A = this chain, B = another copy of it.
Amino acid sequence: MAKAMVKRRGRDPDVTRDKLLQAAFEEIYRRGFQAASLDTILAKAGVTKGALYHHFPDKASLGYAVVDEVVKGFLLERWGVLEPPSRDPVTTLQRILRRRAANLTAHEVELGCPLNNLAQEMSPLDQRFRRGVSATFDIWTAAVAKDLARGQAEGTVRKNVDPRKIAAFVVASIEGSFGLAKSAQSAAMLRSNLEVLRWFLESLRPAPKR
């Protein structure tokens, strides 16, 4: 309550921290973590090295915070993990894929998925990075698997498939689609791949009774 009234100018540590996280996210998103320059991040954030090393012990910790506090939310929000599902899971997933395909920006076709970028770059190099990234993927996958399992219980998803395996494959296909499209710099390819994935999802519906 006392916090909301405060009107310090350029002296709020939370604001400074957020500016650092946001600037670091953008720089890491484009160049990767290792190639991300602290000086560039500081310039973009409009603060100095003193501020950075006041809030974070080192560069790696800044990266971990970017994963946990920026990329994670970014991803889960974009893929509808946070919103409660309606209807049957197949239709819900298809709708999310369609919405994402329709809302693609040139920026994200060029740069791909920030979580996947970090996964590929840092997984073999830094255990803590890997764990943070992997945990986020797990949340996403588990949410999809849970939906599919619910669909099986409600009779909207065929029962001879493993929800967790299907969910992992769906997430992998999405990330792979973004990755290939990023390499080809082609939004059309990305849309096409997501369309095939929607078609695959269709095959998860129960076989029509005969």
Stretch at the interface among A13-21, A69-77, A144-152, A175-183: A175-183
A88→B185 CA distance, assembly (Å): 32
Copies of this chain per assembly: 2
Q: Does A171 contact B (CB under 8 A)?
A: yes
Q: Given the complex of chains A and B, what is the CA–CA distance between A133 and B182 in angstroms?
A: 11
Q: Is the CB of B134 within 8 A of A110?
A: no
Residue interface bits A76-91, CB-to-B below 8 A is 1, else 0: 0000000000000000
Q: Which of B34, B35, B121, B176 contacts A177 (CB 8 A)?
A: B176
**Closest chain B residue to A202, Cβ basis:** B203
| A180 and B171 within 8 A (CB) | yes
Interface size on A, residues (CB 8 A): 46
Residue A120 interfacial (CB < 8 Å): yes
A101 contacts partner chain B, Cβ-Cβ < 8 Å:
no
Residues of A in contact with B (beta carbons under 8 Å apart): 30-32, 34-35, 110-112, 116-117, 119-121, 123-125, 130, 133-134, 137-138, 165-166, 168-169, 171-177, 179-180, 182-185, 189, 192-193, 195-197, 200, 203
